[in-house]
Amino acid sequence: MEVTRKSFKDCLNLVYTAVEEADFLAIDGEFSGISDGPSVSTLTNGLDTPEERYTKLKKHSMDFLLFQFGLCTFKYDQNDSKYITKTFNFYIFPKPLNRSSPDIKFICQSSSIDFLASQGFDFNKVFCQGIPYLNKEEEAQLREQTEDRRSQQANGVGTPSFISPSSSKGPANVPDEHMGYINRVVEKVEALFASTDKTIDLEPCTGFQRKLIYQTLNWKFPKGLHVETVEVDKERFIQVSKVDEEEKKKMEQQKLEREQCQLNDAVGFSRVIHAISKSGKLVVGHNMLLDVMHSIHQFYCPLPEDLQDFKEVTMCVFPRLLDTKLMASTHPFKDLISNTSLAELEKQLNESPFKAPRTEAAQGFPSYDTAKEQLHEAGYDAYITGRCFISMANFLGSFLTPPREYVSAQSKLVEPFYNKLFLMRIIDIPYLNITGPDLQPKRDKVLYVTFPKDWKTSDLYQLFSAFGNIQVSWMDDTSAFVSLSQREQVPIAVNTSRYAESYKIQTYAEYVQRKQQENEKQTPASKSWTEDRWLKSPYMSSGSSGGFGYPRALRKRGGSPITAEKGSTEAADGWSDYSFSDSTGSKKKKTDEVVESKTSEGWLNATDATESFGSSPMKSPDEDGADLAKDAEGTLGWHQASASKATPARKSPKNKKKSEASSPSSLFEVPEVW
Amino acid sequence: MEVTRKSFKDCLNLVYTAVEEADFLAIDGEFSGISDGPSVSTLTNGLDTPEERYTKLKKHSMDFLLFQFGLCTFKYDQNDSKYITKTFNFYIFPKPLNRSSPDIKFICQSSSIDFLASQGFDFNKVFCQGIPYLNKEEEAQLREQTEDRRSQQANGVGTPSFISPSSSKGPANVPDEHMGYINRVVEKVEALFASTDKTIDLEPCTGFQRKLIYQTLNWKFPKGLHVETVEVDKERFIQVSKVDEEEKKKMEQQKLEREQCQLNDAVGFSRVIHAISKSGKLVVGHNMLLDVMHSIHQFYCPLPEDLQDFKEVTMCVFPRLLDTKLMASTHPFKDLISNTSLAELEKQLNESPFKAPRTEAAQGFPSYDTAKEQLHEAGYDAYITGRCFISMANFLGSFLTPPREYVSAQSKLVEPFYNKLFLMRIIDIPYLNITGPDLQPKRDKVLYVTFPKDWKTSDLYQLFSAFGNIQVSWMDDTSAFVSLSQREQVPIAVNTSRYAESYKIQTYAEYVQRKQQENEKQTPASKSWTEDRWLKSPYMSSGSSGGFGYPRALRKRGGSPITAEKGSTEAADGWSDYSFSDSTGSKKKKTDEVVESKTSEGWLNATDATESFGSSPMKSPDEDGADLAKDAEGTLGWHQASASKATPARKSPKNKKKSEASSPSSLFEVPEVW
């Protein structure tokens, strides 16, 4: 269901009901751009810490506009074993509602706009019919202003714009040059009393004149008159009405209601986010970090400086999140799913070993034809995301004994995926953990190298030619991370640089320490990313094979610079693995000219096998079952889960052989937590 | 005629012809915003120097996108005594043409977007069908790249993306892991030689693999094969074709032509600006400073830091400009025209004492119905602007003896208005003089006041209460210009502040001196605005009555934040004169609460009579007639003009009495220059 400024008011109750009755919600946003940096790759160094990545996204992405928001609610119908869906596609635009509204500026990125245009995105609908919004602070300000005005008017002090401590109820102190004008107004009002008309509109005048009129009329006609400033097409004029006390009260009551109404109109789309937030329902998204950041930034409050604060705000606004891209990239899905882009994921999840979920649009809501892709309409994307979640959740039921076809959104089976948001292109940290400390990979094969501005990737290959294959992640023009393939070579490499003048090599640990010291100097009280929560966590356990690389097949689709998951640098580059893509981003032209390391790819391909950081967002055993007794909603899921725990289901599902090759032995094992 | 990406190529020759044959051109631009500062008023302090204003506009306006460009060409048909018009309305968007195209980011201002939306502006057409463009530097880069690639290919070094000094014509050094892949490609090509097919497309592969393929095929099949990387939907793959030497040459020729074609496509809309520029024709615009700045910035080069440099660049790009808003605000028009907004100007110029110009759309071009306003479509605005110019130019002919109905764009009568661009809301400098020094008003009644952050306009009124009426122009939170009404009070006011702690008062001269010193410290070699060209100029002569205020009637129209001429702060404020509007801009909320100076308006109204800076952009007598002999084109106009000079036409036109009241005695006098 398309929702615009016109239809928003009428739809709002539908939205409230849909959210209230839903088992879970899926969301998606479309933005006017992704990165205002020189290139998307500046946002995504493969060795960013979560803190660094957050800071980059905050700095380079929040000035874009979230201008389409998709919400799809999913309600399970037990009798028919299917989900009933209600999809809303909201157009959003910060139309200045009146002259005191903030005049928002936002950035557009031409590649993003061009991409959306090619997908048939309707910009006219956004700009002409977009729903306005206010964040919490703006809303509070507006409420306060309205309240102030009301109490002032209750005190008989007239005009909304010009209240001065000296404006008594005595005669207005009218400057000579305005005397004639004011006298004419008074004459007009006296004529109104004499006539049968009820109302006159005065001519538009200056604010100062309005003030004089209010003061004069309030003083001359303390009773029987209602004076109000009316704004039509951003032009203000005064309306004077003859009224008895009854009518006067009624008009004031109406005015109050009108104001309340205007206020709600101004809060606009933010009310939808408030409803989602208040429901506490599971909110599912695909690669949803930017969606979450934008939603909070635009409809709640400016994003906090600190990642930890962001996590806390996020938990207030969206207490339960699930990222289908992260889920699909995690055991037991990661080895069954070759491409986690939304479109490809949806296709794969309709096929064995998965099952297409049964969903049906509620009456009056659009039923999408998934065959005719309408991808990148936010409502449709939200719908598809929800379907992907259902398929994956249900698939988890196949590991139970006996297997179950349906696994609810509240099931304990799903819980391990809660509140972990996919991190793009970080080599060894697959997700941002909203409710706990982030993973802390050792990075003990990583060197931090600084060098002259004219160095290219080839110079780094040259420099490290003695140390076998390397992997380069550019930081900026004069520094990069270089990952060696063997840990033993790290001290040797550092040593050789001791007498070098043009470049400098540090270990990753040294780099981190120096950064920490710099941070402490700059902001003594601020939390730095090396603090306690960055200490060795239970998540550090070495997982099974594989990082979070981008499968080759991904590149076969045209890149969408909008969802940030198929950014053009990555999708279009056609250059081996994602990790290498990092090194060809901002430095692309340079490497294009001189890539010489014929074997670079070979090593990159080998990465999959040699790098083995933890990549499963499962809860650690000691956390497991803590809140067991509290879980009232998720009974079905939980009983199954505990059953499965009692009798670990090590049986592989039927379609094991169909899955793609070269999977390590642990592939289909149910993680311990179940 | 609407011109989009699709039709651009076909239209270009039409544009060239139209520009070539025209007597003059009119232009207009629509932008995605006006000011990215906190409010439009920050751009327009009433006492800005031209340098300051330029710097502000450059800083706060150039990140918006000029996304619609109107061009209307006017050719005089002597037989029918009418102009034949050709109107083009170009949609413009920096679509990234390929992966190496710059990914432009631009700002949108919601008030501007909302305004355009309300006018029925088609954003979809801009974003889906906008014509791309490159500035001169980008164009040069692209040409160089293309040239490089061509010469490399001529040397037999294959792929455009991967050229390395070591890529010899020997066998490619294929790493083991790619050996299988490359061998399969070679087999495919051998199969091609054996088959009847002419061409095979290889599967998309990585850039590294492409490089290996090029090297291998170049070495294995030095003849009979044409290998080319094809890009379709931003995905690259290699196309291999069997060819004889004849065909090979032909294919290479075709490729060259294709590249040239692509290059021209990329330069896109800039070619229109190049054509306008090269023609040297008079370019007319309404309030055109931003149009000129954007056109240069977007299609030529980033704007220079320095105003003088900007003037020079402008003269290169648009050697002859005329601003109808400035013309309408200048004698002999200023006292006949109450409102110089484009819409109002057009209306007034269709009525006596002016005459509606006779124009007719050329065959195949749209003929606009000026009754059904289509304002704010750039093409239409350009058309209307041209008509306004014709009316005003012809009106000048009425001062000649004998009067003439037609005055050409090249006439000496029009020359005084050349290259003077209207300056918004500067109290005492009506225009930016592109070809000479700017006006230098004395400002000897102006004080520069600094004060604590919490001061409001009312505090300034309080402070200066002893000095009669004042006029406040806010600079920022802690400083403002305060104009006194009497020069004698300046030293007294400065004196009283001597022992003040919270605030400080300087004369304008002191302020200028300090700023100059600061500038010299910062950039020793840079030109500051107090240099020679700011010295007393012949323009300093006191003109007749009136500054360049905004008539009240203007406020009756809804404000257009787009053309910057009816910005919302000004139009919507409803607060007395423009000069006061300056003081209510960024500080609006503050003044709203406490405006107490009952007499402020009175003085402001009096300003018209008391302030009398030069406001006629006429040439000074000593400059007049300098290039007389050279003027070949403007014969008609010139002969009339010199005739009128010989016999000064002091006769008033017929409709004098109809003109609005209170005009000073000099109203209809023909300025001396004629």
- The enclosing H or E element of B67 equals strand B66-77
Task: Give the CA diameter of chain A.
Answer: 102
Higher pLDDT, B85 or A424: B85
CA neighbor of B586 nearest in space, from B436, B479, B438: B479
What pLDDT score does A41 carry? 58
Check if A75 contacts B (Cβ < 8 Å): no
Check if A236 contacts B (Cβ < 8 Å): yes
Tokens representing residue B112 in the block: 């501007």
Decide if A663 contacts A655 (C-beta within 8 A). no
Q: What is the mean pLDDT of residues A326-331?
A: 94
Instruction: Please name the residues in contact with B184: beta carbons below 8 A apart, sequence gap of 6 or more.
Output: none
Q: Residue B461: its chain A contacts at CB < 8 A?
A: none
Q: Do A127 and B123 touch (CB under 8 A)?
A: yes
Check if B232 contacts A (Cβ < 8 Å): no
Torsion sign across C-alpha atoms A550, A555, A557, A561: positive
Taking CA atoms, A289 is separated from A29, A93, A126, in Å, by: 11, 21, 23
Q: DSSP string covering A72-108, please?
A: EEEEEETTTTEEEEEEEEEEB-----STTS---EEEE
| Chain centre to alpha carbon of residue A151 | 39
pLDDT band at B230; cut points 50, 70, 90:
confident
pLDDT band at A373; cut points 50, 70, 90:
low
Q: Do B175 and A602 touch (CB under 8 A)?
A: yes
Q: What is the pLDDT of residues B511-531, one digit of tens each?
A: 888 888 887 777 655 444 433
Instruction: Please name the residues in contact with B492: beta carbons below 8 A apart, sequence gap of 6 or more.
Output: B467
Q: What is the pLDDT of residues A50-61, one digit of tens each?
A: 999 999 999 999
Indicate which of B61, B208, B605 best probes the interface with A, i.e. most A CBs within 10 Å of its own CB: B208
Higher pLDDT, A292 or A460: A292
What pTM does this model have? 0.74
Q: Do B210 and A108 touch (CB under 8 A)?
A: no
Higher pLDDT, B465 or A631: B465
Higher pLDDT, B538 or B119: B119
Q: Do B601 and A128 touch (CB under 8 A)?
A: no
pLDDT at residue B3 greater than cutoff 80: yes
Torsion sign across C-alpha atoms A278, A281, A282, A283: negative
Check if B177 contacts A (Cβ < 8 Å): yes
Q: Do A574 and B127 touch (CB under 8 A)?
A: no
pLDDT at residue A338 greater than cutoff 60: yes
d(CA A528, CA A511): 14
d(CA A504, CA B205): 35
Selecting from A124, A162, A204 the residue whose C-beta is nearest the C-beta of B595 gives A162
Question: Coil, strand or helix: which one is B89?
Answer: strand
Q: Report which DSSP code applies to B133.
A: B
- Lateral strand order in the sheet of B199-201: B199-201, B235-242, B225-232
Q: Residue B119: its chain A contacts at CB < 8 A?
A: none
Q: Residue A234: its chain B contacts at CB < 8 A?
A: 558-559, 568, 571-572
Question: What value does the mean pLDDT of chain A take?
Answer: 76
What pLDDT score does B410 carry? 93
Check if B98 contacts A (Cβ < 8 Å): no
Instruction: Please name the residues in contact with A391: beta carbons below 8 A apart, sequence gap of 6 or more.
Output: A349, A350, A354, A355, A356, A357
pLDDT band at B172; cut points 50, 70, 90:
low
d(CA A324, CA A665): 25
ipTM summary value: 0.73
Indicate which of B100, B113, B213, B234 best probes the interface with A, i.e. most A CBs within 10 Å of its own CB: B113
Check if B97 contacts A (Cβ < 8 Å): no
CA neighbor of A61 nearest in space, from A303, A267, A274: A303
| Nearest chain B Cα distance for residue A625, angstroms | 47
| Nearest chain A Cα distance for residue B659, angstroms | 24
Higher pLDDT, A532 or B432: B432
pLDDT at residue A376 greater than cutoff 80: no
- CB neighbour class for A316 (10 Å; exposed up to 12, middle 13-18, buried from 19): exposed
Check if A99 contacts B (Cβ < 8 Å): yes
> Which residues, in sequence order, are bridge partners of residue A230?
A237
pLDDT at residue A522 greater than cutoff 80: no
- The enclosing H or E element of B484 equals strand B479-484
Indicate which of B64, B122, B124 best probes the interface with A, i.e. most A CBs within 10 Å of its own CB: B124
pLDDT at residue B75 greater than cutoff 80: yes
Q: Do A103 and B96 touch (CB under 8 A)?
A: no
Q: DSSP string covering A448-509, please?
A: EEE--TT--HHHHHHHTGGG--EEEEEEETTEEEEEES-TTHHHHHHHHGGG-SS-EEEEHH
d(CA A644, CA A402): 9
Select the highest-mean-pLDDT range: A438-452, B153-167, B564-578: A438-452
Decide if B480 contacts B473 (C-beta within 8 A). yes
Selecting from A161, A177, A601 the residue whose C-beta is nearest the C-beta of B208 gives A601
Q: What is the mean pLDDT of residues A126-153?
A: 87
Q: Do B122 and A127 touch (CB under 8 A)?
A: no
| Chain centre to alpha carbon of residue B64 | 12
Check if B117 contacts A (Cβ < 8 Å): yes
Asked if residue A332 has a cis previous peptide bond (ω within 30° of 0), the answer is yes
Taking CA atoms, A328 is separated from A287, A358, B456, B656, in Å, by: 10, 19, 58, 82
What pLDDT score does B582 carry? 33
Check if A232 contacts B (Cβ < 8 Å): no
How many residues in chain B? Answer: 674
d(CA A43, CA A56): 6
Select the highest-mean-pLDDT range: A272-286, A569-583, B249-263, B473-487: A272-286
Question: Coil, strand or helix: which one is A550?
Answer: coil
pLDDT band at B502; cut points 50, 70, 90:
confident
pLDDT at residue B415 greater than cutoff 70: yes
d(CA A527, CA A311): 14
Pick from A216-220, A225-229, A593-597, B468-472: least confident: A593-597
pLDDT band at B597; cut points 50, 70, 90:
very low
What pLDDT score does B225 carry? 84
pLDDT at residue A532 greater than cutoff 90: no
Q: Residue B161: its chain A contacts at CB < 8 A?
A: 592
pLDDT at residue A360 greater than cutoff 80: yes
Q: What is the mean pLDDT of residues B160-164?
A: 37
pLDDT at residue A563 greater than cutoff 80: no
Amino acid identity of residue B357, one-letter, is P
Q: Residue B110: its chain A contacts at CB < 8 A?
A: 93-96, 103-106
Decide if B53 contacts B421 (C-beta within 8 A). no
Select the highest-mean-pLDDT range: A484-493, B16-25, B543-552: B16-25
pLDDT at residue B273 greater than cutoff 90: yes
Q: Report which DSSP code applies to B595.
A: -
Check if A576 contacts B (Cβ < 8 Å): yes
Q: What is the mean pLDDT of residues A260-273?
A: 93
pLDDT at residue A572 greater than cutoff 50: no
CA dihedral B213, B218, B219, B224 (to 10 degrees): 120
pLDDT at residue B203 greater than cutoff 50: yes
d(CA A612, CA B599): 79
CA neighbor of A572 nearest in space, from A583, A557, A582, A587: A557
What pLDDT score does A152 carry? 62
Q: Do B595 and A32 touch (CB under 8 A)?
A: no
Asked if residue B319 has a cis previous peptide bond (ω within 30° of 0), the answer is no
pLDDT at residue B61 greater than cutoff 80: yes
Phi, psi of A31 (to 5 degrees): -115, 160
Q: Do B96 and A111 touch (CB under 8 A)?
A: yes
Decide if B635 contacts B334 (C-beta within 8 A). no
Check if A162 contacts B (Cβ < 8 Å): yes
pLDDT at residue B624 greater than cutoff 60: no
Q: Do A117 and B128 touch (CB under 8 A)?
A: yes
CA neighbor of A302 nearest in space, from A134, A423, A528: A134
What pLDDT score does B649 carry? 40
Pick from A69-78, B158-167, B305-314, B583-592: least confident: B583-592
Q: What is the mean pLDDT of residues B225-242?
A: 81
| Nearest chain B Cα distance for residue A95, angstroms | 6
Amino acid identity of residue B251, one-letter, is M
pLDDT at residue A99 greater than cutoff 80: no
What pLDDT score does B207 carry? 72
Select the highest-mean-pLDDT range: A252-256, A325-329, B240-244: A325-329
pLDDT band at A223; cut points 50, 70, 90:
confident
Question: What value does the mean pLDDT of chain B take?
Answer: 76
Select the highest-mean-pLDDT range: A331-340, A491-500, A604-613, B195-204: A331-340
| Nearest chain A Cα distance for residue B446, angstroms | 24
Q: Which chain A residue lies closest to B231 (C-alpha atoms)?
A: A572
- The enclosing H or E element of B73 equals strand B66-77
Check if B94 contacts A (Cβ < 8 Å): yes
Number of CB pairs < 8 Å for A and B? 196
Count CB atoms within 10 A of the CB of residue B466. Answer: 9
Taking CA atoms, A382 is separated from A193, A279, A316, in Å, by: 60, 18, 22
Q: What is the mean pLDDT of residues B190-203?
A: 88
Radius of gyration of chain A (CA): 31
Q: Do A207 and B575 touch (CB under 8 A)?
A: yes
pLDDT band at B171; cut points 50, 70, 90:
low
Decide if B327 contacts B392 (C-beta within 8 A). yes
Q: DSSP string covering A616-665, please?
A: --PPPGGGTTTTGGG--TTHHHHHHHHHHHHS---PPPGGGGGS-S---T
Q: Do B96 and A117 touch (CB under 8 A)?
A: no
d(CA A482, CA A464): 9
Q: What is the pLDDT of residues B119-155, one digit of tens each?
A: 999 999 999 999 999 999 999 988 888 887 777 655 5
Count CB atoms within 10 A of the CB of residue A250. Answer: 13
What pLDDT score does A204 carry? 79
What pLDDT score does B242 carry? 86
Selecting from B39, B96, B113 the residue whose C-beta is nearest the C-beta of A127 gives B113
